[in-house]
């Protein structure tokens, strides 16, 4: 039974967040309990009510933001290990844009636009030990390892850390470019427009737009609890099983 974000693989968390919310609370709750316990929906519905109530209560951690190890603070990604071993594979974390090759930098920008693609985003930052980005291994294998083995809490900590690092790096580059453009005495219309666009982009970066998007996603927990007095019944059974966890 999974009872916290540290035990919850990222893939299962994404599966839970992708569940449709248009059914009843009890339908949704049954699917969540099934995912967290490696059961099918029908297996959950066959449980004694007392056992089901216990498992549903244990799933309540999903109603809170993704928490740090001490259970109190949202992960800020300030303290991260240099390597992660997932499924027997040691992955080295990229901690600075200075360590990135161009292809890695471009891919990170692409995947960073959609935080639902966080396994792909993290595959840009976690590289098999002894390998160069995208060379000598299949990035799809890293994404699979991230989904199956990386705890949800660690996944968001890494993303938060690098989005913050990325913002600092970009801010430095934009500030340098803006200073150079403003120093020119005679500016072309294109250069004047570039200054306006750069200033707008700097305001966005300084405001932590990417990090705010990530933080909002951390504060959108799953809808787990059913209304008081609700209990599972055959009539609330879903039409197809959720499947089992790995």
The two three-digit tokens of residue 30, written as one number = 């049954």
Instruction: Decide if 119 contacts 10 (C-beta within 8 A).
Output: yes
Quote the percentage of the chain above a pLDDT of 90: 36
**Span 197-225, pLDDT tens digits:** 777 766 655 554 444 544 454 444 455 54
The residue assigned the tokens 């498992």 is 55
Supply the pTM of this predicted model: 0.69
> What mean pLDDT is reported for the chain?
77
Quote the percentage of the chain above a pLDDT of 70: 70
| Least confident among 24-33, 52-61, 174-183 | 174-183
Q: Which residue has the higher pLDDT, 187 or 216?
A: 187
Beta strands in 65-121 (DSSP E): 83-86, 89-93
Instruction: Decide if 37 contacts 243 (C-beta within 8 A).
Output: no
Predicted confidence (pLDDT) at residue 162 exceeds the cutoff of 90: no
Residue 232: the pLDDT is 41
Q: Residue 127: enclosing H or E segment and its boundaries?
A: strand 126-128
Residues in Cβ contact with 65 at an 8 Å cutoff, skipping those fewer than 6 apart: 74, 218, 219, 221
What value does the mean pLDDT take over residues 179-184?
A: 80
**Span 190-200, pLDDT tens digits:** 888 888 877 77
Predicted confidence (pLDDT) at residue 165 exceeds the cutoff of 80: no
Residue 192: the pLDDT is 84
Predicted confidence (pLDDT) at residue 49 exceeds the cutoff of 70: yes
Give Dmax over CA atoms of the chain in angstroms: 79
Predicted confidence (pLDDT) at residue 183 exceeds the cutoff of 50: yes
């Amino acid at each position: 039974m999974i009872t916290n974000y540290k035990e919850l693989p990222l893939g299962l968390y994404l599966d839970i967040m992708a569940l449709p919310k248009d059914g009843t609370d009890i339908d949704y709750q049954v699917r969540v309990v099934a995912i967290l316990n490696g059961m099918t929906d029908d297996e959950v519905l066959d449980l004694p009510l007392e056992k089901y109530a216990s498992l549903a209560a244990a799933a309540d951690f999903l109603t809170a933001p993704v928490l740090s190890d001490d259970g109190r603070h949202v992960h800020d990604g300030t303290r991260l290990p240099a390597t992660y071993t997932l499924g027997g594979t040691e992955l080295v974390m990229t901690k600075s844009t200075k360590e990135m090759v161009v292809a890695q930098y471009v891919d990170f920008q692409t995947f960073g636009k959609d935080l639902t693609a966080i396994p792909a985003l993290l595959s840009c930052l976690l590289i098999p030990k002894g390998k160069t980005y995208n060379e000598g291994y299949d990035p799809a294998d890293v994404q699979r390892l991230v989904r199956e083995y990386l705890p949800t809490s660690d996944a968001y900590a890494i993303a938060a850390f690098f989005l913050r690092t990325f913002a600092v790096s970009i801010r430095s580059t934009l500030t340098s470019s803006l200073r150079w453009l403003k120093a020119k005495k005679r500016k072309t219309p294109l250069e004047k427009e570039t200054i306006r666009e750069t200033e707008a982009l700097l305001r966005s970066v300084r405001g932590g737009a990417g990090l705010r998007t990530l933080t909002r996603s951390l504060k959108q927990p799953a809808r787990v609890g059913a209304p008081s007095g609700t209990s599972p019944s055959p009539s609330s059974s879903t039409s197809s099983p959720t499947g089992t966890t790995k």
